[in-house]
């Protein structure tokens, strides 16, 4: 990760939003990878992609809950 410049925003909520966005983007991207693997008859690879997709979906849901709580607490 040293190749990327550090974020100009040093905010934990920004970091949470960034990881949330990345997790949900990976859920969407995995759909393409799963379809590609299935088209090529590689069910083992498709299943592996489904596991990754599931983990990213779970992380996305957890991230949304965290963000909602944090934003609610900031406005309270």
Q: Is 49 exposed, middle or buried (0-12, 13-18, 19+ CB in 10 A)?
A: buried
Q: How many domains does the chain have?
A: 1
Mean pLDDT of the chain: 89
6 located within any domain:
no
- The answer to whether residue 22 sits within a structural domain is yes
10 pLDDT band (50/70/90 cuts)? low
Q: Is residue 58 part of a domain?
A: yes
Do the domain assignments include residue 5?
no
pTM for this entry? 0.77
Dist CA 73 CA 60 (whole Å): 20
Per-residue pLDDT at 76: 67
Q: How confident is the model at residue 8 (pLDDT cuts 50, 70, 90)?
A: low
Q: What is the mean pLDDT of residues 37-55?
A: 98
What is the domain range of residue 51? 13-75
pLDDT score of 51 more than 90: yes
Residue 73 banded pLDDT, cuts 50, 70, 90: confident
User: What pLDDT shows up at residue 6?
Assistant: 66
């Amino acid at each position: 990760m040293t190749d990327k410049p550090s974020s100009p925003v040093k905010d934990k909520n920004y970091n949470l939003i960034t990881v949330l966005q990345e997790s949900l983007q990976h859920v969407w991207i995995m759909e393409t990878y799963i379809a590609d693997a299935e088209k090529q008859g590689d069910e083992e690879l498709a299943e592996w992609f489904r596991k990754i997709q599931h983990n990213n979906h779970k992380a996305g849901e957890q991230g949304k809950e965290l963000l909602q709580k944090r934003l609610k607490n900031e406005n309270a």
